[in-house]
Structure 1
Amino acid sequence: MRIDKYLWSTRYFKTRNMGTEACKKGHVQVNGQVVKPSREVYPMDTIKVRKNQINYELTVLDIPKSRVSAKLVAIYRKDTTPAAAFEQQEMQKYSKEYYRKKGTGRPTKKDRRDIEDYLEDPEDSEENSGANDA
């Protein structure tokens, strides 16, 4: 079975085209070699897939006939991804929050109005309100 079709049938990618694109970009390795989408996979091959900044590692146990349900995926592959890969993703998530807090950066519409109200001269507002009374 082709590697792009295998990754699609074992639910690593939502569409087969996404699997093909990952192979073309060099995000898929079979037995340590970057492969084309047409590369055949066989039982006991080791596959490394980079997806969402995580390097997944899996071993092919069997070849499915077509796309399988999520419950049956474990029959066809063994996930050997180290836990450190997922911990690294959590650390990246926290580091992003540390460097850029929500609400910083470009002001929202509400922030801009608050700034304009703060910077408005009190004399101008008194003159405008006095003109309305006359």
Structure 2
Amino acid sequence: MNKAVETEGGPRLDKWLWAARFFKTRALAAEAIDKGRVLSGGQPIKRSREVRVGDRLSVRQGAPGELPREIEVLALSAVRGPAPVAQQLYAETAQSLAAREAAAKARKLAPEPALAIEHGRPTKRDRRELHEWQRWSASVDDKG
């Protein structure tokens, strides 16, 4: 079962983010905190800060262009449990959900141009075929 922390302050921030399944490992959670991807009140915080019920956090994870998730801490835990239990530790704000849905719609309507490229670099065989074609192609400027 999930063991809730009964101390006054609560678990460290990196441990809570790991227990709430925002990051796969505590090391990844600590790295994100150190890089300033986890904010409290718009300010970067230290990984050793104790989490308390009612704290509002901004957690940015995933791709660099990904919008941060604005969450409110509902419960404390220092033990990583199943996903349904971890989802009960926090609640995402309505504004954050709306912003992430709008960004998802925008991505769907205007996909990344690089994803439309079907072929990457030409292979050695493709280059040889291109070279052969260029070798035998006739040009208006050629006088023979």
Q: TM-score range by the shorter chain?
A: 0.7 to 0.9
Q: Distance in 2 between matches of 1:121 and 1:65?
A: 71
CA deviation vs aligned residue, 1:76-134 (integer Å, no higher than 9, x gap): 1112223222432553574422x663146633445324312322327xxxxxxxxxxxx
1:24 and 2:40 aligned: no
Partner of 1:59: 72
Q: Note the residue ranges of structure 1 that are not aligned, 5 or more in a row.
A: 123-134
Query: CA distance change for structure 1 residues 57 and 6 in 2, over 3 Å: closer, same or farther?
Result: same
Query: CA distance change for structure 1 residues 101 and 45 in 2, over 3 Å: closer, same or farther?
Result: same
Q: Distance in 2 between matches of 1:63 and 1:100?
A: 41
1:120 and 2:139 aligned: no
Taking structure 1 as the reference length, the TM-score comes to 0.75
Q: State the percentage of identical aligned residues.
A: 35
Partner of 1:96: 112
Query: CA distance change for structure 1 residues 100 and 9 in 2, over 3 Å: closer, same or farther?
Result: closer
Partner of 1:76: 89
Amino acid at match of 2:121: R
Taking structure 2 as the reference length, the TM-score comes to 0.71
Task: Note if contact 2:71-2:90 (Cα within 8 Å) is conserved in structure 1.
Answer: yes
Q: Distance in 2 between matches of 1:68 and 1:100?
A: 36
Query: CA distance change for structure 1 residues 100 and 65 in 2, over 3 Å: closer, same or farther?
Result: closer
Aligned length: 121
Superposed CA RMSD: 2.4
Larger radius of gyration: 1
- Richer in helix (by share): 1
Query: CA distance change for structure 1 residues 103 and 74 in 2, over 3 Å: closer, same or farther?
Result: closer
Partner of 2:22: 12
Q: Note the residue ranges of structure 2 that are not aligned, 5 or more in a row.
A: 1-10, 138-144
**Deviates most, 83-92 or 59-68:** 83-92
Partner of 1:33: 43
Q: Identify which of structures 1 and 2 has the higher relative contact order when contacts are C-alpha pairs closer than 8 Å and 6+ apart.
A: 2
Partner SS, residue 59 of structure 2: strand
